[in-house]
Chain A
Amino acid sequence: MTDFGAAFATAFSLIATLDPGLVEIVTLSLRVSLTAVAIATLISLPLGAAVALFRFPGRGGVVILLNAFMGLPPVVVGLVVYLFLSRVGPLGVLGLLFTPAAMIAAQAILITPIIAALTRQVVEDLWEEYSEQMRSLGAGPRQALWALLWDGRFSLFTAVLAGFGRASAEVGAVMMVGGNIDHVTRVMTTTIALEVSKGDLALALGLGVILITLSVGVTGAAFVLRETARRSYAA
């Protein structure tokens, strides 16, 4: 029980003094996860919408895979990306292993299925509502795709937030491809894992408190933004 008290005390003092080590780790964590989310969103939104709107052979399989891959184990994704980026791997010449870029790539791969699967569902439901009127106006699935993505922006925003949550919380992938190198690829989650392995549970827990607070902060701010926008557009 003393660990919890020590944890909050540690967390508070780290934040209050704006501990430079903490700031560095938090900044890197945010940059990696936000960039990964941005990349994943750029891929997933059109992908999910396309799967929702177009009929093609094997579509059922794609839907099942997308849904299933929402639960991809991060450490497995990390391992696969590691094998690709390793010098003896196919993309070794890029020299990306143990860099933030590798972490971004791994996280982007991890969260693309989440955003894509949720997008597919949102767009599918919207198309059910809109398809008759749209087709009457002369818009088939292809013409309607971007209009539907924009129309579903509030629900899709939540999907993107889900992706961000997953990215900022995972440790397996970034540990594997980043190497947890001090000042280079050490993020909040890998720091917590490191401190646990050193037996410094209070510090680890304190960092955990900070990580959760950060996550709640970002998600909360996004939620407020979404709600204010949504209220002016109603349902």
Chain B
Amino acid sequence: MTGTAMTAAPAILPLTVREMSYAVGAARLIDDLTFTLEAGPRTIIIGPNGAGKSLLLRLCHGLLKPSSGTVRWAGGAGIDPARCQAMVFQRPVMLRRSVAANVDFALALRKIAKDRRKRRVAEVLAKTGLEDLARRPARVLSFGEQQKLALARAWALEPQVLWLDEPTASLDPAATRAVETIINAIRASGTKIVMTTHDLGQARRLGDEILFLCKGRLIERAGVADFFDHPQNLLSRAFASGDLLW
């Protein structure tokens, strides 16, 4: 799965978000966001609890509809952007079937032919180190292995954008490292990575650029080095040094 497979379909990036808001009742959980996501840099979204990071991912991915504003993908009318994305959640959600069957399920949804599915499943399980577990029931795997499986499943879809919502928050350091390695491999094969995290060290390791959210607003956007070494905003400075507690 190299970059050439991806360029067969028209690119859906850049994603343009304009004045997007999301309100539940009277509360504005996402407040008037405007930004563009380009193909290439690994984008990490950080911010304190309740900043709206998870909401933002879901709004961009299409799981939620904004209350106002627009989310626009490139690529024109001929392509369905939903089919070119995948998402990995903090807690992996696996069906009660085998490891291989879970990946196969996702591919079958895209109406991919059976023999092609078989090959891709084998490929992707090998790349994530899960090939020995292929026939094991997915839900008896450890949390770390299930998260690797979630990544394998997403990777099999050859997405142009991979959204990750705190993928290692529930994992131990060893599993975290394994997951980060896979994320980088997926990126290397041409997928745009957009990830939220609480782990600032991870943000530094994995990110190329930072989007800093606080209370639903975009406070700062900068390259990783710039954000952590020379934050422009008071809030960013406080957060980067661990002083923001809410």
What residues make up the interface of A, taking CB atoms closer than 8 Å to B? 129-130, 132-133, 135-139, 143, 147, 150-151, 153-154, 232-235
- B contacts with A, residue count (CB < 8 A): 22
Contact check, A138 vs B89: say whether CB atoms are below 8 A apart.
no
Give the interface SS of chain A, mostly helix, strand, loop or mixed.
helix
User: Known contacts A147-B105, A234-B139; is A136 also within 8 Å of B96 by CB?
Assistant: no
B140 / chain A contacts, CB cutoff of 8 Å: 233-234
Please indicate the chain A residues that have their CB under 8 angstroms from the CB of B63 in the complex.
Answer: 132, 135-136
Known contacts A137-B106, A154-B96, then 12 further A-B pairs from the complex at CB < 8 Å, ordered by chain A residue = A130-B95, A132-B89, A136-B63, A137-B109, A143-B109, A147-B95, A150-B97, A232-B137, A233-B97, A233-B139, A233-B140, A234-B139
Return the chain B residue nearest A143 by Cβ: B109
- Taking CB atoms, residues of chain B closer than 8 Å to A129 are 93
Q: Does B82 contact A (CB under 8 A)?
A: yes
Interface string of B4-28 (1 = CB under 8 A from A): 0000000000000000000000000
Looking at the assembled complex, report how far the CB atom of B111 sits from the nearest CB atom of chain A, in whole angstroms: 10
Residue pair A233, B96 in contact (C-beta under 8 Å): yes
Query: Main secondary structure on chain B at its contact with chain A?
Result: mixed
In the complex, whether B83 has a CB less than 8 A from a CB of chain A is yes
Residues in B76-98 with C-beta less than 8 Å from chain A: 82-83, 85-87, 89, 93, 95-97
Interface flag for B61 (CB, 8 Å): yes
Q: Which of B117-149 contact A (CB under 8 A)?
A: 137, 139-140
Within the complex, the shortest CB–CB distance from B229 to chain A, in Å, comes to: 35
